[in-house]
Structure 1
Amino acid sequence: MSLKNVLTTAAAILVLSSAAATAQTPTRIKQFDAWGSYSYSSSGGKVCYILSTPTAMLPSSVDHGDIFFLISQKPGQGVSYEPQVVMGYKMQEGSKVTVDVDGKKYTLFTRGESAWMENAAEEPQLVDSLRKGQAMKVDAKSQRGTATQYTYSLAGVTAALASINNCK
């Protein structure tokens, strides 16, 4: 499956899994190398986000499911550039996810198959690190206790973020 098809499928999965019953199918804004930008309308207003999939997944011996890193804008809800990790499996209860951008580490709390910044005040710093960075790794732990690691390309992240800058 091509990256374009994977990201389109990922966009649809995210909308369906967001528990927003009134959400509609996302519209692709544009693809920027490894990052795509999307938007959809929900009961809380327009939502725009960028999304990427890992370029490498470890351990290679396990079924990871669909894995995504996204950053959303929800102007109607006062949310600006909210990073989120979505895994294809439930994570270990109480575990943390670590996002490492060129050696700078950020901690995310987990709930089910998703993780968000533990300290929301650090969200702009993570987004800035992504803009300036070369590589990102995400470490997580599955519900079964399996340590997992994902590598992402940051090619196109700055252009993708710019494409949702004026989400309204």
Structure 2
Amino acid sequence: MKYVLTAAMAMLVLSSATVAAQTPTRLNQFNDWGTYSYDANGAKVCYVLTTPKTMQPSSVDHGDIFFLVTQKGKAATYEPQVVMGYPMKDGSKVVVTIDGRAFSMFTRGESAWMENAAEEPQIVAALRNGKAMKVDATSQRGTATNYTYSLAGVTAALNSIKTCK
């Protein structure tokens, strides 16, 4: 039930760019990763989503935090995104580290995307093969935050949306 609610909240953030977006439908759950879809302007959009296992510092209200990977187009390419429960510092970067390999994301408001779109396949491959993921960000107030995520189920989740149409 938690994943359905968190996915719906993530859609509120995502739907700002897609006015016609509807409430997402939960497709499946693979360990710590859920799969979802929604219709946007007559096209089906599918994505995988997870929430952090730990949030630091524990003394602040983080809001709802998500890491998601959306399937783009018919070529089954993927777009990773971080959605925070707070606005991030203007001009700051989010750093996603998977098994020691760091990827940089640019921020806008409460979301972050890959700084270099050419690295999207690399981060997805790292997710599929990785054991641990950490996300570091800076809030608009200047608070350094970090989150750890489980990668259990991400490969099965990504595989399950390959044919999502």
Contact in 1 for aligned 2:76/2:162 (Cα 8 Å): no
* 2:25 is aligned with 1:15: no
Contact in 2 for aligned 1:90/1:143 (Cα 8 Å): yes
- What TM-score do the two structures reach when normalised by structure 2? 0.95
Equivalent residue, structure 2, for 1:148? 145
Amino acid at match of 1:98: V
Q: What is the root-mean-square deviation of aligned Cα atoms in Å?
A: 1.3
Q: How many matched pairs?
A: 163
Equivalent residue, structure 2, for 1:48? 46
Residue by residue, what CA displacement relative to the aligned partner does 1:50-70 show, whole Å, maximum 9, x if unpaired?
A: 000000000000000000000
Specify every segment of 5 or more residues in structure 1 that has no aligned partner in the other structure, as ranges: none
Does the C-alpha gap of structure 1 residues 99 and 141 become closer, same or farther in structure 2, counting only changes over 3 Å?
same
Aligned pairs for 1:79-94 within 5 A: 80-94=77-91
Aligned pairs for 1:1-168 within 5 A: 5-18=1-14, 19=16, 20-43=18-41, 45-75=43-73, 80-168=77-165
For residues 73 and 167 of structure 1, the distance between their equivalents in structure 2, rounded to whole angstroms, comes to 8
- What TM-score do the two structures reach when normalised by structure 1? 0.93
Specify every segment of 5 or more residues in structure 2 that has no aligned partner in the other structure, as ranges: none
Contact in 2 for aligned 1:141/1:148 (Cα 8 Å): yes
Percent identity between the two aligned chains: 65
Range with greater deviation from structure 2 (45-54 or 17-26): 17-26
